[in-house]
Structure 1
Amino acid sequence: MNTAVKLPEFITVSQHDAVATITLNRPDLRNAINDQMRAELIAAFAAADVDPAVRAIILTGAGKGFCSGGDIGGMRARLDAPAGEVAFNGWKRQKSTHRGVAAIHGVSKPVIAAVNGAAFGLGLDMALACDFIIAAEGAKMSMSFVKRGLVSDGGGMYFLPRRVGLSKAKELIFTARVVEPAEALALGMIDRIAAPESLLAAAHAWAKELTIGSATAVALTKEIMDKTFERSDEEIFAMGREAQAMCYTTAEHRKSVEDFLNKTAK
C-alpha cells in the first residue's frame, strides 16, 4: 500500500554552498504562523540539523514581511472554544508554539534571521530565537502582544533581555512600540542592517563565514554558550572540558594539527 507524502505548503527550503535557507511562505498573510506552517518549520529545521552538508541556516520570509505573528484564525478558534476547554486547549497550543521556537533555538548549527520586513509578535520572537539577526532597511519590529491582551509567548521574555537588558526589554514589551533597524542595532536587538535588495546576499555571505571552522566545535560551543547565563562558572567550565575532550577525538582536529605541523616543517 502506497502512502502519499504531503509536501510542504507554507515552508520552502533551498541550499547553496553549505547554507540552507528556510523561508516562511505565506506572503499573502505576511507569513502568519498557523499549525501546519509550524509543523513544517519544525521538520525543516530538524532535517537541516542532521544534514552534514548544511553548516549554517538562514531563516527569512517570502514577500514583503518576515512574519506578522500568530495566525488570527487560530486566535478566533481559541475564543470560540467552550469556556471549560479554553485553558487546556491554550496549554496544548503553547506547547506546539514552544516546540517551534525550540527547533530554531536548539539547532546545532548557526542560524541567521534575515528580517526582510515586518516582524511582529511571535514573528519577532522567532527572529530573537536565532543566533544572529540582520534586518533590511525599512523593516519594522514590535513585541506587539500586549495590544492583543497577551504576553510574549514565543521566548521573547527570555531572548530579548539577553540582547538589550532587562529594563529596555520591559519597555519594549510593555509599550509594544515599533522599532526600526537603526534603533534596533543601537540597542543590540539586531546585529546588522542591509539594503533590502542585498539582504539575502549579505546573510548568505555572513553564514558562509560561520562555516569555515569545525562543525563539531561550533555545535558544542553553541550548546554551551546558550546556557552561559543560567549555569555557574564551574558548570560552564565542566561542560567546556567535556566538549574539548570530544574535540580531541575528531578527524577535524587531527587534520588541522597535522596540516599545521606539516606546514611548519617545510
Structure 2
Amino acid sequence: MSQEALIEYQLEDDIAILTLNRPEKRNAMSDAMRAELVGHLEALRSNRNVRALIITGKGKGFCAGGDIAGMKIRMEQDPAVVGFNGWERQQGVHYAASLLLNLPIPTIAAVNGAAAGLGADLALSCDFVVAARPAHFTWAYIARGLIPDGGGMYFLPRRVGLARAKALIFSGRRVSSEEALQLGIADSVCEADALLSTAMDMAKEMSSGSRTAIALTKSIINHSYEISEHQVFDEGSKAQGICYTSQEHRASVQAFLDRAKEAGK
C-alpha cells in the first residue's frame, strides 16, 4: 500500500494548490514533508503552464511549526554531532524558503488555522497572505530557546517594520487574523468557508498579466531593499529588454494597434 502524500497537489484553472497533509499534527513540518514540498516547488519552478501557487493546510491548522518528534530525537543525540546535524538540516529549511520566495509566479498562503513558528514563516515566504478569521500567527521560537529559522527574521520586518518584528519575535505572542491584517502580516481576511475561493480569486487576479513580466519583476523587487537604486535600475533595464522581445508584450501591443486601427475607421 502506498503511503499517503504529506503534501497534496492539485491543479485548477492553471493554479497549483499545495495542501499540507498532516492534520493530526496540525500540519507540523517534518523533514519528510519538507522534502515533498521541495520536490513540488522545484517542479513548479520550471512549469510554464502553472500561473500561480496557493499553499494551505488540511484540517484545523495551517502549520504548527517544526515537528516535535524531530526535536525529541535531537535531544537524544550526542551533543558532539547535534551542532553539525543542525547546520545541515538548516540548509534544507532555508533552501525550501528560498525556493518559495523566488518562485517565478505569484504565490499565496491561504492560512486556515494556526500558523506557528515555521508555519508563520512559511506563510510569509509567499507573496500574499489570505487568512481565515479563525487563523492566528505566532513566532514563539525564543520560548523554546531558538531563533526564527524559517525566514522570519527576513520576512517579518519587511511586513511590519523592524521594531514590531522584534516585539512579535521577542514576546512570541499570538496575533489574531484581524490584528494580522492591521499589522500587514495578512493582506486579506475572510470567512473560513470562503478561504480557498478568496485565494483562488487573488491568484487569478495576480497572475492575469504577462508571466514573463511578473517573473522578472518579482526577481528584482524581492531584493530591492538590499540593493541601491542604481542596481534596481540596472537590473530593470536588462529585464525590460527581455520583456520587449516576449510574446506577451508583442501580442499586447499588436492588439492595441488593431483596436486603434478599428476605432479610426
Please give the range of the TM-score, normalised by the shorter of the 2 chains: over 0.9
**Contact 1:141 1:178 (C-alpha < 8 Å) held by counterparts:** yes
Q: Paired residue for 2:128, among 128, 132, 147?
A: 132
Specify the alignment match of 2:87 in structure 1.
91
- How far apart are 1:105 and its partner, in Å? 0.8
- How far apart are 1:7 and its partner, in Å? 7.1
Q: Paired residue for 2:230, among 224, 230, 234?
A: 234
Q: Please list every run of 5 or more consecutive structure 1 residues that lacks an aligned counterpart in the other structure.
A: 1-5
- How far apart are 1:209 and its partner, in Å? 0.5
Specify the alignment match of 2:97 in structure 1.
101
Specify the alignment match of 1:206 in structure 2.
202
Specify the alignment match of 1:111 in structure 2.
107
Q: Does 1:31 find its partner at 2:27?
A: yes
1:59-103: CA deviation from partner (whole Å, max 9, x where unpaired):
100111000001011111111111111110110111111111112
Tell me, in whole angstroms, the C-alpha distance in 2 between the residues paired with 1:193 and 1:242. 37
1:135-166: CA deviation from partner (whole Å, max 9, x where unpaired):
00011110011121110000000000000000
Number of aligned positions between the proteins: 261
The amino acid of 1:191's aligned partner reads D
DSSP-derived class of the 2:150 partner: coil
Tell me, in whole angstroms, the C-alpha distance in 1 between the residues paired with 2:242 and 2:189. 37
Identity of aligned residues (%): 48
Q: Does 1:80 find its partner at 2:76?
A: yes
Q: Superposition RMSD on alpha carbons, in Å?
A: 1.0
DSSP-derived class of the 1:109 partner: coil
Q: Cα distance 1:42–1:260, how it changes in 2: closer, same or farther (>3 A)?
A: same
Tell me, in whole angstroms, the C-alpha distance in 2 between the residues paired with 1:52 and 1:85. 42
Q: Paired residue for 1:11, among 7, 12, 16?
A: 7
Which range moved further: 8-17 or 177-186?
Answer: 8-17
Q: Paired residue for 2:38, among 36, 42, 49?
A: 42
Specify the alignment match of 2:140 in structure 1.
144
The amino acid of 2:50's aligned partner reads V
- How far apart are 1:49 and its partner, in Å? 2.1
Specify the alignment match of 1:265 in structure 2.
261
Tell me, in whole angstroms, the C-alpha distance in 2 between the residues paired with 1:128 and 1:54. 21
**Contact 1:8 1:40 (C-alpha < 8 Å) held by counterparts:** no
Q: Paired residue for 2:167, among 147, 167, 171?
A: 171
Specify the alignment match of 1:3 in structure 2.
none
Tell me, in whole angstroms, the C-alpha distance in 2 between the residues paired with 1:234 and 1:8. 50
Q: Which runs of 4+ in 1 moved over 6 A?
A: none
The amino acid of 1:184's aligned partner reads A
